[in-house]
Structure 1
């Protein structure tokens, strides 16, 4: 039996005003929690599937609140692909309203990929959810996506698995290209300081020392204690630059950059892709953009 919170009933009543069919005529109805997962799902699903995304490009997946169109889409969906490990606090509302035939698939929690702990903030010690920031983590997501889609739509399994194989090959090549590009940054400059601990897996993959003011964006941002701790770390390490992310105010990193006298660079894209005409229009573009930001800020060789 469905378990629905009162706020869900209210949102469902509001959605009756929407007369446009959410998914069109396709029989395959998929939800992605945010744009990075949408991009990975599309690489496996192909063009014969409708995908709706809860959190649009440019918005913070951590702090999103479900809208009536979100609720209507979820009501009609067969599968919801989300990250898990606490990235999307609003998923508890999706779980409350989920009908019996809706499959909820947490990619990070089911991926064959070693998690890292969050090292700071109120979620310290919990698994860091940002596994997709390493292409190997994204490849592990692709495997889960292909398995889930094949189980639900076995008549398309061969196509799903073929596209997944191609996507993983592309991600392997991307990983190699990023590694080669990052070789231009001197080892002594590989200090990656950001607002949120969203670059931990990237740092592990490409041999950076990483630190952040807070652990996840949905905790208190830039508390006095967190700022003081980061300030002391900056004094001790003197990085070449600090970096801010596209979904958080840059005021915290700007204040620290001014305090220690280093440049502020960004934005880095972590929790969202950009608009289609922006620099992070898909997953590979997002990582390539971030790598160029690191080159500019940390003294790497210029792009040819």
Structure 2
């Protein structure tokens, strides 16, 4: 069994609830499509549900290919939570394996949180799947998760909803703390540029202008036209720094950095956590890590 992930942050999130590993077998077997969603599901499932993940920390959810262990776990699952809005293009293979007893739940597509359009690339105009990058979006995910688990395991519904309430409060605390950390960045420096367009919800939540080279990692990355267009935009709007993400090569941003003379920072985390030994090991730690990196690279005020 995987080591329990703690949501406790000594700096920002002392109120988050700790979840211990399962002591034994559970009634339901639940799968989350990728590590960030797994973490959110575990917050609600507690010790009552066995939760596994298809795409592990560090791997790119967009480009994953199912493994034999994935297939075995899918065959034993009762519920699979996935994001939706095209985040997991390999989901068609899951649907081919699944029988009528398996519940497939698209969390983002069922969340009460208005989607933003993807701003560039092959999928421009389609719904941006990265809603969890705003804690308010993650809170909307929690509601879907709690309601789905309660429907399938009604005798534990009260516990699921209680954990959901605790998580709403913790996410609100996280949101306020991230906002306070980032508000010291000067207005003239509040321009965020990444490789994949995965930070639009984050940018809206915390007051940044935003741009990216491509829309989703499962399209052609960093083609000549996209790179030339970004180079032209950067010449007009001088960003203090460029950022690359943990699940993509840094070569595209490195090339733009060299061409423009703009400094390069990273990696940011959006589609995957880091390992347990690194700084972005769960949801609040990931947002906190991103905020610190952005704060430093964009010239945020130093604490007195």
2 CA distance for matches of 1:135 and 1:117?
A: 18
Long gaps (5+) in structure 2: 1-23
- The Cα RMSD (Å) is 1.1
Query: Structure 2 CA distance, aligned partners of 1:132 and 1:262?
Result: 29
Distance 1:40 1:83 in 2: 12
Structure 2 Cα separation of the partners of residues 303 and 39 of structure 1:
31
Question: Secondary structure at 2:62's aligned position in 1?
Answer: helix
More helix by share: 1
Instruction: Report the CA distance between 1:95 and its aligned residue.
Output: 1.0
5+ residue gaps, structure 1, are 1-23
Question: Are 1:138 and 2:138 matched, yes or no?
Answer: yes
Three-state SS of the structure 2 residue aligned to 1:51 is: strand
What is the correspondence of 1:227-242 to structure 2 with a 5 Å cutoff?
227-242=227-242
Confirm or deny that 1:32 pairs with 2:32.
yes
Whole-Å separation in 2 of the counterparts to 1:302 and 1:253: 26
Paired residues, number? 282
In the other structure, the counterpart of 2:125 is 125
TM-score when scaled to structure 2? 0.91
Q: Which residue of 2 aligns with 1:208?
A: 208
Equivalent position of 1:90 in the other structure:
90
Matches of 1:303 and 1:28, distance apart in 2: 47
**For residues 99 and 220 of structure 1, what CA distance do their matches in structure 2 show?**
33
* Residue matched to 1:65: 65
Between the aligned partners of 2:266 and 2:96, the Cα distance in structure 1 is: 38
**Structure 1 residue 25: deviation in Å?**
2.5
Shift of 1:302: 2.9
SS at match of 2:195: strand
Q: Is the 8 A contact 1:295 1:302 kept in 2?
A: no
Provide Cα deviations, 1:41-94, integer angstroms capped at 9, x if missing partner. 011110222111000110000000000100000000000001000000000111
| Residue number in structure 2 paired with 1:21 | none
1:258 Cα shift?
Answer: 1.0
2:18 is matched with none
**Structure 1 residue runs of 4+, over 2 Å off?**
none
**1:5 maps to what in 2?**
none
Q: Does residue 1:284 correspond to 2:284, yes or no?
A: yes
What SS does structure 1 have at the residue aligned with 2:101? coil
Structure 2 match to 1:178: 178
Question: Can you list the C-alpha shifts for 1:31-50, whole angstroms capped at 9, x where unaligned?
Answer: 00000000000111102221
- Map 1:1-304 onto structure 2 (within 5 A): 25-302=25-302
Name the SS of the counterpart of 1:61 in structure 2.
Answer: coil
Output the CA distance in 2 between the equivalents of 1:302 and 1:27.
Answer: 50
Separation in 2, partners of 1:303, 1:26: 47
Report the CA distance between 1:260 and its aligned residue.
Answer: 0.7
Distance 2:295 2:182 in 1: 7
Deviates more, 1:221-230 or 1:46-55: 46-55
The Cα shift of 1:303 comes to: 5.1
CA–CA separation in structure 2 for the residues paired with 1:36 and 1:110: 17
1:208-246 CA-to-partner distances (Å, cap 9, x unmatched) read: 011000000000000000001100111001100000000
Which whole-Å CA distance do the structure 2 matches of 1:231 and 1:132 have between them?
29
Q: Which whole-Å CA distance do the structure 2 matches of 1:119 and 1:275 have between them?
A: 30
* 1:296 positional shift: 1.0
CA distance in 2, matches of 1:111, 1:136: 11
1:30: how far off?
0.3
Aligned position for 1:14 = none
